[in-house]
Chains A and B, each alone.
Chain A
Amino acid sequence: METVHAIELRHITKRFGTKVVANDNIDLTIDRGEILSLLGENGSGKTTLMNMLSGIYLPDEGEILAEGKPVSIRSPGDAYAHGIGMIHQHYKLVEVFTAAENIALGLKGKGHDRRTVAAQVQAISDKYGFGIDPNKKVYDMSVSEKQTVEIVKVLYRGAEVLILDEPTAVLTPQETERLFGILRTMKADGKAIVIITHKLHEVMAISDKVAVLRKGKYVGTVNTADTNPQKLTEMMVGHAITLNIDRPQAKYRDLRLEVKGLNCRSGEGLPVLKDVSFQAFGGEILGIAGISGSGQKELLEAVAGLQKAESGHIFYYPPHPKSDIAGRHVPVDKAGEELVGKTPGQIRKVGVSLAFVPEDRLGMGLVGSMGMVDNMMLKTYKDAPGPFVDRKPPRELAQRLVQELEIVTPGISVPVRRMSGGNVQKVLVGREIASTPTVLMTAYPVRGLDINSSYTIYRLLNEQKLKGVAVLLVGEDLDVLLELCDRILVLCGGRVSGVVDGPAATKEQLGLMMTRVGGGEEESRHE
């Protein structure tokens, strides 16, 4: 008496090129009325595996069974025909269309006129409690609403198996709770749900079973009730690891940056920072939280001189004369050196350093086609006299970083684009730290990193803090910010909605401040 699985994967193997084996002989079953977490570090092959279910890739070997029968899924259309729908990390919606129009987009045949679709969308929405308006335009929607449209789109096409790729990455804690509520309703309705994630607490909160992948191989499936985060981490990483982040106390804590009434406009002339004021101290990690696009990037860029300030001041104070980092940079006014109006080069010489890791990791900060050596000298190539570049110091620095940060690369002249994400980030953060900054600003430094590399980065940031550096950290994972930061500044729609103490704050508190319940969001949209 064997039950028929909604989906069964048998011996699936997928290669990219001849060297990369993204999925190696994977077996997996997905059942109705169940939420399965697909857990694994970045690059462990979770998304690749699910892309084969949703018709984006073809497996090189192995077979896929839907309801017990072998199937071949060559396109997303085939996937829908077998009742499989995937909600990708990057939403694929047309901004100027309404929810209903987006949902009907690409569907052939009759019965997909606007009114019928809207009625059916409303029906699905009511059934699961989505609460979306079918006639709302996508550009008027929040990130969470857009995600909901994607989910409804998949349900509208009759999906019985839903795959969500990192669905909580862009949501606030409150929105995440809401999504989990919806997932539970769908589970009760008999849908099979897979969520791809690397966040352990979410795995524990939502799923019935956890399937773990490691380096493209299937490690095993366990019942959530029978496991805990520590055990899951061991399955993911392959060995025991401590999950605590330190928050050591620095010797000197002195005012380093003082931002007063800062206003900035984007390239299109829209206000992106509104009357921002805060202080940052040496020997402190100041976390910056907010929904993505709330002005985090612009704030860091304004301090670094890359974003023109419309009004306001940024005052810089030299480090404590007894701290390790004193006296390494050009002297500044002890009463506060104005940074607004200075060029990025001048600001760098003061000791302000920016390590921004953008979504594509390479777009800013590193040149993908260049090797480590050439990337090391990006900000210092002008320092040597004469018309020629001196590659000796950057070469030595590159070699040192490879050793100290355990960077894996075939060679220091190999284009950094060919290195893995974690190593690229180590290169970037390592270079910034090597410039012995007095202010180290970093955004998303652990984006896409495996657990080991993430902890290396946290350790590096803490080391800098102990030296007396003022660390500004824009982060995505609130749990990490709460554990690592001394204080957390929350941005909402370009404004500071508050600064809280790291040890005392809670996730819910941050979540509320990020959306500033009571009109913060509305205000920013209509300005």
Chain B
Amino acid sequence: MSEHHTPLIRLAKRDAMARGQVWAIRASSFLAAILISAVIFLVMGHNPLGAFGTMITGALGKNTAIRQTVRIAIPLLGTALAIAPCFKMRFWNIGAEGQITAGAVGASYFALFWADRLPQVPLLLVMAAAGAVCGGLWALIPAFFKARWGTNETLFTLMMNYIMIGVVKWLQGGPWEGRPGSQIIPQFDSAAVLPKVLGVHCGWIIVLILMVVMFLYMKFTKQGYEIAVIGGSENTARYAGMNVGWIIMRTMFLSGAIAGLVGFIVSSGADNTLHAGVAAGVGFTAITVAWLAQLNPFAMVAISMLLAVLEKGASTLETQLYVPASISDIITGIFLFCMLGCEFFINYRLILRGGHREGAVQ
């Protein structure tokens, strides 16, 4: 048979791979990311080994560095946990950014105006509850429209982000403005600030508890089961007698509430105030975290730490080696690309021309 007629490269779907092989592919993609970044460093005139060393020591070298890295990871993990049930349901909530911000607004209201009326613990609890309720209600709006009229949740949740960020800008310059003309909301009273545990605000304990609760919720509760069924097949869910619209709204409220709680943690624990950039892109980065972790809450811890190390390491590069910010962004991008891209090779294999016989041997 005229062998040269077969295409040079073909794609074929793989059978389920062995666990070891999967991890080998992931490890090699990580290695590839390091190699590509090394080339970039070389081109920029830096010693790659030195640069990676700077990144690692910058992120994990000293206790203070570790604390800062953990501070970056906390909202990432929390938000990834928030969007996990939505994604499991195949409801593409990309509005975590707005839900975080909404939660931060709710928490800030009590931090700014109730700090003198309540002692610290009740105040923080009220702030947390307000954050969760505000985030949840903000998420409920697109869910209601989706359940009632089948609107596209992706666009809807995305646009809601900008509205909420706009609201905070208005608060900053208007009713909640501190010193007139400053466009800044004043710092919270110390009673409204999350206490520190082991040098980092106690948000890390909250998200770790959330992680366990979310794992149990998704795996062992009736509600978690309903979410999985809807994600698998909406028709089947309806056929089983589930009220799909109601479940969508309930799950989105939960998702928004957790994102709102993250908003409370960030504004109270890290920023000690409210500003328009409170979410700082976490709502989007968390999608990457959730996806890479394949919605497994425990894997999310590792992934969010990894991304935090990358981010902290990249910013150390900027300050210590004077690498331009754009280059550290490129390095982060290369790592994400390789990590996401390797999933392709886990699902598919390439067959080179004439190479099909080796497949036959296995």
Contact = CB atoms under 8 A, between A and B. Distances in A.
Contacts of A379: 240-241
Interface string A15-39: 1111100000000000000000000
Contact of A364 (B14, B231, B236): B236
Contacts of A248: none
B5 A348 contact: no
A317 to B, nearest CB: 22
A378 B6 contact: no
Contacts of B231: 369
B241 A74 contact: no
Contacts of B356: 60
Contacts of A70: 1-2
A367 B232 contact: yes
Contact of B222 (A17, A18, A381): A381
Contact of B359 (A15, A306, A344): A15
B113 interface: no
Task: Determine chain B's interface SS by DSSP, over half rule.
Answer: helix
Contacts of A64: 1
B5 A18 contact: no
A365 B236 contact: yes
Given A17-B13, A370-B228, A388 B220 contact: yes
Contact of B233 (A17, A63, A348, A364): A364
A345 interface: yes
Contacts of B222: 381-382, 387-389
Interface string A300-333: 0000101000000000000000000000000000
A362 B233 contact: yes
A72 interface: yes
Contact of A344 (B6, B232, B239): B239
A68 B229 CA distance: 54
Interface string A338-371: 0000011100100000101000001111111110
Given A364-B236, A368-B232, A369-B232, A17 B241 contact: no
Contacts of B228: 367, 369-370, 374
A385 to B, nearest CB: 10
A58 interface: yes
Interface in B219-234: 220-226, 228-229, 231-233
B15 A365 contact: no
Interface string B2-20: 1001110010111110000
B89 to A, nearest CB: 12
A70 B5 CA distance: 12
Contact of B6 (A17, A74, A354, A418): A74
Contacts of A306: 238-239
Contacts of B220: 388-389
Interface size class of B (residues with CB under 8 A): 20 to 34
Contacts of A381: 222, 225-226
A302 to B, nearest CB: 13
A457 B229 CA distance: 26
Contact of A368 (B5, B16, B226, B233): B233
B1 A72 contact: yes
Contacts of A369: 228, 231-232
B125 to A, nearest CB: 23
B360 interface: yes
Contact of B235 (A19, A72, A364, A370): A364
Q: Which of B220, B224, B229, B240 has the most CB of A within 10 A?
A: B240
Contacts of A60: 356, 359-360
A364 to B, nearest CB: 5
- B10, B223, B356: residue with the most chain A Cβ atoms closer than 10 Å: B356
A389 B221 contact: yes
Given A15-B359, A381-B222, A366 B241 contact: no
A307 to B, nearest CB: 11
A208 to B, nearest CB: 29
B362 interface: yes
A362 B239 CA distance: 12
Interface string B191-230: 0000000000000000000000000000011111110110
A369 B233 CA distance: 9
Interface string B325-362: 00000000000000000000000000000001001101
B240 A17 contact: no
Interface in B230-272: 231-233, 235-236, 238-241
A229 B22 CA distance: 49
Nearest to A64: B1
Contacts of B240: 344, 378-379
A362 B237 CA distance: 12
B5 A72 contact: yes
Contacts of A72: 1-2, 5-6
Contacts of A389: 220-222, 224-225
B9 to A, nearest CB: 13
Contacts of A362: 233, 236
Interface string B282-318: 0000000000000000000000000000000000000
Contacts of B235: 363-364
A64 B5 CA distance: 13
A503 to B, nearest CB: 34
B229 A378 contact: yes
A365 B7 contact: no
A68 to B, nearest CB: 15
Contacts of A63: 1
A345 B239 contact: no
Contacts of A17: 12-15
A388 B233 contact: no
Contacts of A377: 225
Contacts of B239: 304, 306, 344, 354, 356, 364-365
A378 B236 contact: yes
A60 B355 CA distance: 10
A72 B360 CA distance: 20
Contacts of A366: 233, 236
A363 B229 CA distance: 11
Nearest to A78: B5
Contact of B225 (A344, A345, A363, A374): A374
22 contacts: A15-B360, A16-B12, A17-B12, A17-B15, A18-B359, A61-B360, A63-B1, A70-B1, A72-B1, A74-B6, A306-B239, A343-B241, A363-B233, A364-B233, A365-B236, A366-B236, A370-B229, A379-B240, A381-B222, A381-B225, A387-B221, A389-B220
Interface of A: 15-19, 58, 60-64, 70, 72, 74, 304, 306, 343-345, 348, 354, 356, 362-370, 374, 377-379, 381-382, 387-389, 418
Interface of B: 1-2, 5-7, 10, 12-16, 220-226, 228-229, 231-233, 235-236, 238-241, 356, 359-360, 362
Given A306-B238, A344-B240, A364-B235, 4 more contacts: A15-B360, A60-B356, A365-B236, A382-B222
